[in-house]
Structure 1
């Protein structure tokens, strides 16, 4: 097999190992961003060899719209429009008092923060472009990269837990010492990797059962079950409340990759959202759930999520309709904190990606988000109800949905590791079966022409 077939999986694995921090690991992330720029050039070098359908083209347009939204941060505005949000008027007055002049009057308050945020997105964008435009990858290799990172993270987490807070294998200065974090800075983000490994393992089992040799099917099934048990054990030990809450639904959805019955999947479209909504309501609205959240927050030194959300919503109101600018959360949020309630913990994110994006991008980001959500929902339902869909397409749908739900109570997409998984998951949802399930005959050069889309 040509070495170029491994470039994308190897880059994904590098993202999972090196890209585990949102505001740390600058050298490691710099390496990923540099390699990502090379990968983007490689993806754009030759005409696309991958078939494109309407869903893939729509995803490409959504990516283009996201890039344009970032560029919007550098557009100069008339003074009257720039000062329209109340929060900007206050900032201008405070700046004038200390000799700081906001000039030029750009859409984003801090353009250098917008640049930093844009650069942070390079690994995910590189993977998406490479997968959409190049034929040089195999979905099973991507799944193995996720599973390998999961196994290594669980082992590393066991070492961290065994050695205690002084363990030398905590790789970030700001991290959840005393907890299992693996290659991440945040234990919740390790939980995201453990969760998305479940559909990847199920897809690999389904693939092997379909195209593998008879003598290896039973041993591979046993190995796959062992990997699932390992991932679930990692989730239990990790202690993330979101990981615990999502483990059951994600495991049930992953099992349906192996039992693709349309009747079960139709029922799950109603049952699983109800279970998730009930679990989140219990966690956020009951005293028992609040106590669990408080316990997790004390362990991670992040303060109360509810208080962070309330404070963020107050900031959102002052910065609509323009938003404060991409990447400005850490600069804007402290202005709205109650001095009497400030703790030693550093609040670097809103622990809700949707609130944080609303604060930073204002109403300009809302149409793009609504369009993306409509695109994702349509493709999820199309894949989920199609018994002939590739197991890797179904795994991508489950993984991306898991990350979207986890983003309600955290910020996993702010890391290169999780954003890369998210990007590849979206691509797996739109590429046709010929790209997503290669049989032994296909690998030997004999083509297959499936009749149904994924």
Structure 2
């Protein structure tokens, strides 16, 4: 996940960062299969690998030389107006783009399969790690805007030069990441609220966490504002609505004892 956030921010294929992320995902997938087989947990992971393998095979079938094969031409029939040489040899018309799509499928597949194997406690820890990484990205975005279009912290030549982009090349991708941070901060806010207000009394020690999550949300909202992404703002409004719903529900249960 760390490699995907730091190196996987390009908007087109062919960058070195994409290759790094894809190689990391292959290592993760191989490690998952090996660990599952050693711990005899492969049976429980079978549905995940079957679905993932089927989707990968479906994409890979587009690369096989089927249409231009003489056997296919004979199957079509001698009266066909298309000759074998006129037909494309594969189902896909752009082999390189198909290869790129298969390679781009590996990182989310590895992430999904890895998280699916984690117990609930480790998944919660992963959420905290995600929040920390999103906080770093939000701070980076604010610094990028403060330094202007010539900021050395903009890691891509083709990018949005006047908006915050974080580790990404496109502001919309950065805004989507911030929306994930806002959604996860709902959990943080609920936990901090429960720690602060217990039995109708204010816990001074727990209030530190509540202040921290409020500052975090404010920083993420600030980074989202300077990203100037309309789609991101729309998703952020939904995330804020979720935060308010959690606040009202948790607040009522806490104060009600």
TM-score when scaled to structure 1? Answer: 0.45
Q: Residue 175 in 1 paired to residue 155 in 2? A: no
- Given candidates 206, 209, 220, the residue that maps to 1:231 is 220
User: Contact between 2:139 and 2:219, CA under 8 Å: does it hold in 1?
Assistant: no
**Counterpart for residue 247 of structure 1:** 236
Give the conservation status (yes or no) of the 8 Å contact 1:202–1:224.
no
Consecutive unaligned residues in structure 1, runs of 5 or more: 1-11, 83-91, 93-100, 262-454
- Assess if the C-alpha contact under 8 Å between 1:24 and 1:172 holds in 2: no
Q: Is contact 1:50-1:134 (8 Å) kept? A: no
Match of 2:175 among 179, 188, 191: 191
Give the number of the structure whose alpha-carbon radius of gyration is greater. 2
Change (3 A) 1:160 1:25: farther
**Map of 1:25-174 to 2, 5 A cutoff?**
26-47=15-36, 61-79=50-68, 105-135=89-119, 138-174=122-158
Tell me, yes or no, if the aligned pair for 1:75 and 1:107 is still in contact at 8 Å. yes
Name the CA shift for 1:153/1:24 in 2 (closer, same or farther; >3 Å): farther
Deviations 1:393-439 (A, max 9, x none): xxxxxxxxxxxxxxxxxxxxxxxxxxxxxxxxxxxxxxxxxxxxxxx
Distance 1:136 1:35 in 2: 24
Equivalent residue, structure 2, for 1:337: none
Counterpart mapping for 1:430-445 below 5 A: none
Counterparts of 2:243 and 2:59, CA distance in 1: 35
* Equivalent-residue separation in structure 1 for 2:57 and 2:121 (angstroms): 28
Gaps of 5+ in 2: 74-81, 251-257
Q: Distance in 2 between matches of 1:117 and 1:67?
A: 10
Q: Is the 8 A contact 2:165 2:227 kept in 1?
A: yes
Change (3 A) 1:254 1:105: farther
**8 Å Cα contact 1:77/1:105 also seen in 2:** yes
Shift of 1:102: 7.4
Kindly report the root-mean-square deviation, in angstroms, between the aligned alpha carbons of the 2 structures.
Answer: 3.5
Q: CA deviation digits over 1:241-284, x for unaligned, max 9?
A: 111222212211244445558xxxxxxxxxxxxxxxxxxxxxxx
Within 2, Cα distance between the matches of 1:36 and 1:170?
25
How many aligned positions are there?
231
Provide closer, same or farther for how the CA distance between residues 74 and 152 of structure 1 changes in structure 2, counting only shifts above 3 A. same
